Structures are given as C-alpha cells and as structure tokens.
Amino acid sequence: MPTSFFRPDQSLRLVFAGIAGMTLTLVLAVTQSTAAESTRKFNVVFIAIDDQNDWIGHLDGHPLARTPHLDRLAERGTTFLNAHCQAPLCNPSRTSLLLGLRPSTTGIYGLAPWFRTVDGLRHRVTLPQHFHAHGYRTLTAGKIFHGGAGNAAARAEEFDVWGPAGGIGAVPPQKLVGETPMGNHPLMDWGCFPHRDEDKGDYQVASWAVEQIRGADPQQPFFLAAGFFLPHVPCYATQRWFDLFPDDDRLLPPIKHDDRLDVPRFAWYLHWRLPEPRLGWIRENQQWRQLTRSYLACTSFVDAQIGRIIDAVDESGFADRTIILVWSDHGWHLGEKEITGKNSLWERSTRVPLIFAGPGVSRGGRCTRPVELLDIYPTLLELCGIASRDDLEGISLGPLLRNASAARERPAVTSHNPGNHSVRSERWRYIRYADASEELYDHDSDPHEWSNRASDVGFADLKIDLRRWLPAIDARPAPGSAQRVLVYDRSSDEANWEGEPIHRTDPIPK
C-alpha cells in the first residue's frame, strides 16, 4: 500500500452528525493534488451489472452459467464468494454503495427519491466525486446511479464526462411473453428475437468505455464507470447467446415446492404487489425454462462486453496501474421461494459478484468472508492511496485483497425498508422482519435456505449473537420515498405497501 500518497488532512472531510435526524454537516477543505501525486495514482475501471445474481461461472450459483471473462478476471484478481448488497433494489443499493452509507442510515429504500433531493444527502460526497477531488478525471456511461442526475449542470457535478446512457436498446415490435400479471408492465419480458448485438445499449456502453481507455491521458488518472443494464428485464438476447444453453429443464433452479410453509407471512409484504410474475404464473404459462435461458443468455452477453473492456485495459499499457472492479447491485430470483425478481432478503436476492483485479490485489484470491458492497468505497480509496474518510459505514477490503483468508468479524447486512434486515455470516443467514418474525438458515447444510431454524430452541444464543449486527440506525423512509416502500406500525399490526394497507388476513396477491 503506497501510504506516502495519503494526505488525510488535505482531503474532503465530512463530519457526520445528528444520527437520529439524519443531519449532515459538511466541512469542506479541498486542496489540489500535486502533479507528482496524480502521475503515480492508479486508474479505476468501475463496472456495474444490473440485477445480476450469483449465476456466474466461478460463483457456482448455477451449474450451466457461462461467464468466461468474469472468471478470468477473478483468476487474475480476488473474487468474493460471499458478497452481499445492502438493499435488494436498484436505487437504495446504488445509493448506499456510492455514498458509503447503509439504506437504514439514508432512509432511501424505494425507487424514489433521487438522493440529491434529500436534505441530509444533498451535498454528500459520492465515491466518484471523492476521486474527482483528488485529481481524477471521472467518466460514466450506462447505469451507475439509479435515476438520471438531472440537467447538464447537475450531471457535471457527479461526473466530469458522460457517455451513452445505455439501457435496453433494440426491442421487439411487441412483448414476447404476452400479457403479464399486475398491470402487464412493459419491462416484464424476455426471449430471443432477431436483432444485432451492436444495437443493444450495453454493447454501446462497452464500446464507449473501450474508446475512453484507449484515448486516456497517461498524465491524469481516471475513474471510469460503466454500468450494464442486462440481465435486468426485459431479458432480450440474440440467438448466439441462447445457443450457449440447452433448451431443457436442466436449466431450472432447484426449488422446494412447499418452501414457504416455514417462512413468516411478513416475508410476502416485502414484495406484496409487483409486476415481476410469481412462479405460479411462470409455470402456468410455460415460461420458466424460457425465462431462465434468457437470463443466462443475457448474463453471458454482458460478460462478453466486460471482456471487451478488460482487453482494452490490457492493450492500453495501463494494466499494471489500473484497478478493475466488477459488482452487481443485487440478485434476482428465478422461481426460488415462489417468486421472480428481487425485493427479498434471501440469498438469491442478496448475493452478488464482487471482483477486484489490479495492483495491490492478490491473484487467484477466493474469499469466503461475508463482505458488503458498502465496503467498495473505502477499499478503492485504500487501493488508490487516496485520503480515507471517517464518515463511511463500510470497511476496507484491503486486508482480504492481500490475503483472502484474513480475519473479518463483521457479517453482511441487507435491509429492505425499515425494520427488515438480514445478517449473513460465513455460515448463517438470520432475517428479522419489522413484526419481529424471524428466519434462520444454516448454509453449511442448507445452501438453498429451505429449512427455517429460527424457532429451534438450540439456536437461541446464536440468534442473539447475530442480532447484535442489526443496524443501530433504522431510518424512516426519506421524504419523497415511493415505489416498493413498505412501512409497518407495530401497535396496530398494520403494514402499508406503496400506500395500500395490508392486514393479517388479506390474501397474498398472485
């Protein structure tokens, strides 16, 4: 670690005050980086994937997943086999990662609001802004933040250079799977139709990233963010990606047909009424295999785009001073626990790929310690020798990047709306919902989380131990919160999903 790069007292310094009221006091003291410092700094290629679960070759989440480029990146760097998002939804997960704060601290739980509209977060320094303040040129394309940052002036505050927005790209003339439940949402679609890979948003994002790397000024370090949209729905792919997978039931993930009998009813409240079809609809409409194949095909397509970026780094001459990082904002169910989509606190929603490669990172590291996307912010500061900050809730992964077996006490915590949290240790997953109902799974014997052991008397002490990691702050939803927001009033036992009350006896929406 190049400790000589540290300038802790010259850096942006943010004092985090007023925990309960989310009052942030900003104390800015920005100074210029010296020219000598900037020529020695490492570049960062920061690659995000959207809704990518652990169906990645070397993560063994699916036996037929084909991701040769992510697998080769893992081999030349360190991959985290037990990495988890802080929220199982785009906006809160990305806000958490980019601000270095938990969703239970920011109060950002839904698809809205954009965090810059929230008083305590309006001037919060994001990860790319911190790099910019230390002499980096920051660039972005595709989906990094969940929402648009606003007009050109607002965007210029977030990144120096904005490339293509990416997104879906080519679409078929009409939905391929027909009408889906809960409003026939246009994104709820998947399958193969004739189009060109070059016409997909993700292809264009990768092309732009490759151009920026090739044209980068060797005198100024860069922070390049490339955010891929797939395998987010609609999962459209061309025939060559479908042909990587058999059209048979070996593709289907293992499920237990009565799996939810031992799951608290409250778990349904977290995804009460959503456009993502339930497994029942998927099966009745003979779409399970097709959805699974489409998702795997899109994952392989994105993997190939990431491969193009890795190749550009290798050909640029910058490889020995460029950190490449790949992460996904959260996972996705494809039938497990009777649902598709996200918005759950189980492994298929929380476990994500997280790979670092480059200077300062051990080759071939495979880390089984539970880690959080929240850890990315302090980790990149450490790897790049940029001043650390004392207001981040993550912990640098530096020790694990040097030695994947290094000790780490803290488990990974995922939150979905106030009062609903999951604690993932190396062996266990403990979930506690706002109504105090619980789940406990032993990953040593139950990797699919089929057997809820929370009521076993023998695990009472274990639960107490895991519970101490529940977030100390459990913020109410920030002003403007909307879409997938759940609140619960314990005194009346009434939950409220997106403004709609839920009572104990209401039938579960299909």
Q: Please name which of 36, 45, 49, 47 lies closest in space to residue 2, comparing C-alpha atoms.
A: 36
The residue among 26 and 252 lying less far from Ca ion, judged by its C-beta, is 252
Size of the site for Ca ion (CB under 5 A): 7
Q: Whole-number minimum distance, CB 451 to Ca ion, in Å?
A: 6
Is 55 in contact with 295 (CB distance < 8 Å)? yes
The residue among 95 and 105 lying less far from Ca ion, judged by its C-beta, is 95
Q: 293 — phi, psi (to 5°)?
A: -65, -40
Q: Please name which of 369, 240, 373, 366 lies closest in space to residue 301, comparing C-alpha atoms.
A: 240
The residue among 90 and 125 lying less far from Ca ion, judged by its C-beta, is 90
- Given 62, 85, 90, 134, which residue is catalytic? 90
Tabulate helix, strand, coil % of the chain (nearest 5).
30, 20, 50
235 labelled catalytic: no
Q: Whole-number minimum distance, CB 193 to Ca ion, in Å?
A: 23
Q: Does 233 bind Ca ion (CB under 5 A)?
A: no
Is 181 in contact with 510 (CB distance < 8 Å)? yes
Residue window 477-506: x/- pattern of binding to Ca ion, with contact defined by CB under 5 A:
------------------------------
Judged by CB under 5 A, the stretch of 27-35, 101-109, 444-452, 460-468 that binds Ca ion is 444-452
Q: Whole-number minimum distance, CB 263 to Ca ion, in Å?
A: 6
Q: Does 259 bind Ca ion (CB under 5 A)?
A: yes
Among 90, 373, 466, 486, which residue interacts with Ca ion (rule: CB under 5 A)? Answer: 90
Q: Whole-number minimum distance, CB 358 to Ca ion, in Å?
A: 25
Token reading at 227: 């955010």
298 labelled catalytic: no
Is 97 in contact with 373 (CB distance < 8 Å)? yes
Q: Does 50 bind Ca ion (CB under 5 A)?
A: yes
Helix (H, G, I), strand (E, B) or coil at 173: coil
Token reading at 2: 């190049």
Is 201 in contact with 303 (CB distance < 8 Å)? no
The residue among 329 and 435 lying less far from Ca ion, judged by its C-beta, is 329
Q: 331 — phi, psi (to 5°)?
A: -90, -160
Residue with tokens 């990495």: 83
Instruction: Please list every residue from 123 through 162 that binds Ca ion, using CB under 5 A.
Output: none
Judged by CB under 5 A, the stretch of 14-22, 252-260, 314-322, 377-385 that binds Ca ion is 252-260
C-alpha–C-alpha distance, residues 283 and 339, integer Å: 11
- Given 69, 134, 146, 333, which residue is catalytic? 146
Q: Whole-number minimum distance, CB 190 to Ca ion, in Å?
A: 16
Residue with tokens 């640098």: 396
Q: Please name which of 267, 245, 256, 249 lies closest in space to residue 55, comparing C-alpha atoms.
A: 245
Q: Does 98 bind Ca ion (CB under 5 A)?
A: no
Q: Whole-number minimum distance, CB 330 to Ca ion, in Å?
A: 6
Token reading at 18: 């007023």
Q: Whole-number minimum distance, CB 129 to Ca ion, in Å?
A: 22
Give the number of other CB atoms < 10 A from CB of residue 223. Answer: 27
What number of CA atoms fall less than 13 Å from residue 9's CA on the CB side? 0
Residue window 311-350: x/- pattern of binding to Ca ion, with contact defined by CB under 5 A:
------------------x---------------------
Q: Does 284 bind Ca ion (CB under 5 A)?
A: no
**Residue 21 neighbours by CB under 8 Å, 6+ apart:** 120
Among 42, 51, 313, 404, which residue interacts with Ca ion (rule: CB under 5 A)? Answer: 51
Q: Does 262 bind Ca ion (CB under 5 A)?
A: yes
**Which residue's CB comes closest to Ca ion?**
90
Give me the helices (H) in 87-126, please: 90-99, 103-106
Token reading at 17: 């005050």
Judged by CB under 5 A, the stretch of 42-50, 178-186, 357-365, 471-479 that binds Ca ion is 42-50
Q: Are strands 137-142 and 24-27 parallel, antiparallel or unpaired?
A: unpaired
The residue among 11 and 53 lying less far from Ca ion, judged by its C-beta, is 53
C-alpha–C-alpha distance, residues 183 and 221, integer Å: 47
DSSP E strands: which ranges in 190-301? 190-192, 222-228, 235-237
The residue among 41 and 453 lying less far from Ca ion, judged by its C-beta, is 453
Judged by CB under 5 A, the stretch of 71-79, 160-168, 260-268, 455-463 that binds Ca ion is 260-268
Q: Does 456 bind Ca ion (CB under 5 A)?
A: no
Q: Is 4 exposed, middle or buried (0-12, 13-18, 19+ CB in 10 A)?
A: exposed
Q: Whole-number minimum distance, CB 439 to Ca ion, in Å?
A: 9
Q: Whole-number minimum distance, CB 405 to Ca ion, in Å?
A: 31
Catalytic residues: 90, 146
Binding site for Ca ion (CB under 5 A): 50-51, 90, 259, 262, 329, 450
